[in-house]
Amino acid sequence: MFEEMVVEKPVIGVTGATGFVGSAIIRMLSGAKGYECVALLRSAKKLESYSDGAREIGELEDLNQSSLDLTGLDVVIHCAARVHVMDDTSSDPMAEFRRVNVNGTLDLARKCVEAGVRRFIFISSIKVNGEMTRNGAAFRHNDVPAPEDAYGTSKAEAEAALHTLSEKTGMELVIIRPPLVYGPGVKGNFASLLRIIGKGIPLPLGAVNNARSLVALDNLVDLIVCCVSHPKASGQVFLVSDGKPISTTDLLRGIATAMNRRCWLLPVPEWVFRVGLGLIGKKAIADRLFGSLVVDISHTKETLDWEPPISLEEGLRRAIAPS
């Protein structure tokens, strides 16, 4: 097994601590792992409703005006971000993503350097690699970034800025790029799928032969926790997944099995969907349903001696379990 960092039990700060991933990180670190965690929250209002061990961070895009206190922290896990949305109504999405995800992240990292934080763990996105894989290929940790939307571009720019800062200051940097994350309390498109299948609504998606990598929340959090103190994590970019890709059709069947429900899937040809969705300006939805996105996690597994602790099937069972 690997050796710990010099600090036996580093004090860990987590941004986005009330979010889907951040809250799970705090539960794991402060519970089973016994670390001292500090939730870095955006507002005093959130601070009032949170348990002990929280500090106000302020808005990411306005950190220079905040009284952010990072003293005593050894590691900061940065989960907070302006997240990707399918239909962004902002007049200038790129500027908004850069303001929060690039400038805000870099300001936070600089404050970490000033406070003596040893390691900065940045939760990025597989969208830095691109939107789809083709011809049986898989995204790798050392691919040249090829983002295709404003969110992915902002994450790629943040990574580049953090690398430069790390090289100049010596603060250790770890980057993790997850694909779609699912688990208890998941929102967005995955939550919509759970509702539809739970209601037994027939879906015309019985003939989708793509391959998509997903990551269960428990697997992602386990990797993040591993990166807190693993000596070989510093300076690395890690891709993460459940270990095997799945087609959209098989995913729907897997969700139905986890729910103990019958899955009604009609084998409608892919071209019918692509033409129809293209006509109404929803090509991105077609790409998500029928396109492939596979990640190669061999570098992650070999560097950290890490394996996803739960299977995709177990991840789906936990995702649909009542809270």
Catalytic residues: 151
Tell me which H or E stretch contains 281.
none
d(CA 218, CA 209): 27
Is the distance from CB of 207 to CB of 267 less than 8 angstroms?
A: yes
Long-range contacts made by residues 57-65, C-beta under 8 angstroms, separation at least 24? 57/15, 57/108, 59/104, 60/15, 60/100, 60/104, 60/105, 60/107, 60/108, 61/99, 61/100, 61/103, 61/104, 63/104, 63/107, 63/108, 63/111, 64/107
d(CA 162, CA 294): 26
Tell me which H or E stretch contains 78.
strand 75-78
Tokens of 134: 């083709």
d(CA 80, CA 37): 16
Look at residues 252, 250, 246 and name the one whose alpha carbon lies nearest to residue 194. Answer: 252
Residues comprising the chain, all counted: 323
Backbone angles phi, psi at 164, to 5 degrees: -60, -45
Residue 181's CB is within 10 A of a number of other CB atoms, namely 21
List the Cα angle 276/277/278 in 5-degree steps: 90
